[in-house]
């Protein structure tokens, strides 16, 4: 049976109360001891089943939350941002890094691709030459020949 707005509000309040009680019982932040803006963090992301545990039964919720710890928002962001940082190289170049290591990795990858696909490389070069041709950008006027007058020509 679908929720009505009233029953949905009641269910959300129940889930928020469960979350608030659990965070109060297991807080403060395990890293900085802050009690502000607390969040649940799975210690091992590979063991995570789901993050929507507050609507689950008590036994299932307890089993999932046993894999978690309490962190404040600041520490939680810091942990996940360090997990996302990777070494320099081809992947870092795609994320915007332009250090010497990343540029060299990008150049090496492009060279490998062009060696494996020479027809694509030729097509790219020709497309670039066509796009950057002076013929399309300027009116080219042939110089007058020896017998012609220069007076009637467009300049």
pLDDT score at 150: 54
The pLDDT of residue 9 is above 70: yes
Q: Is the same domain home to 96 and 72?
A: no
Residue-range definition of the domain harbouring residue 96: 90-131
Q: Is the same domain home to 104 and 38?
A: no
Q: Is the same domain home to 18 and 78?
A: yes
Q: Is the same domain home to 23 and 79?
A: yes
The pLDDT of residue 3 is above 80: no
Q: Is the same domain home to 75 and 119?
A: no
Residue 33 lies in a domain: yes
The pLDDT of residue 155 is above 80: no
Residue 18 lies in a domain: yes
Q: Is the same domain home to 59 and 97?
A: no
% of the chain with per-residue pLDDT over 90: 6
The pLDDT of residue 111 is above 80: yes
Q: Is the same domain home to 79 and 10?
A: yes
Q: Which of 45, 68, 84 is the last residue of a domain?
A: 84
pTM of the model: 0.50
Q: Is the same domain home to 57 and 43?
A: yes
Mean pLDDT, residues 110-139: 79
Average pLDDT taken over every residue of the chain: 81
pLDDT score at 71: 92
Tens-place pLDDT, residues 36-95: 889 989 888 888 887 788 888 889 988 888 888 999 999 888 888 766 666 787 777 777
Residue 25 lies in a domain: yes
Q: Is the same domain home to 15 and 40?
A: yes
Least-confidence region, from 36-45, 76-85, 100-109, 113-122: 76-85
For residues 60 and 149, the model is more confident at 60
Q: Is the same domain home to 106 and 42?
A: no
Residue 143 lies in a domain: no
Q: Is the same domain home to 15 and 44?
A: yes
How buried is residue 101: exposed, middle or buried, by Cβ count under 10 Å (0-12/13-18/19+)?
A: middle
Q: How many structural domains compose the chain?
A: 2
Residue 153 lies in a domain: no
Mean pLDDT, residues 27-38: 88
């Amino acid at each position: 049976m679908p929720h009505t707005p009233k029953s949905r509000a009641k269910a959300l309040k129940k889930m928020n109360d469960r979350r608030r009680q659990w965070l109060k019982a297991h807080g403060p932040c395990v890293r900085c001891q802050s009690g502000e803006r607390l969040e649940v963090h799975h210690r091992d992301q590979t063991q995570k089943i789901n993050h929507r545990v507050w609507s689950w039964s008590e036994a299932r919720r307890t089993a999932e939350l046993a894999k978690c710890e309490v962190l404040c928002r600041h520490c939680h962001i810091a942990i996940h941002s360090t997990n996302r940082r990777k070494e320099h190289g081809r992947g870092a170049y795609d994320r915007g890094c332009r250090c010497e290591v990343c540029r060299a990795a990008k150049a090496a990858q492009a060279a490998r691709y062009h060696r494996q696909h020479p027809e694509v490389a030729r097509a790219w070069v020709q497309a670039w030459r066509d796009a950057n041709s002076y013929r399309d950008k300027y009116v080219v006027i042939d110089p007058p020949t020896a017998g012609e007058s220069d007076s009637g020509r467009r300049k």
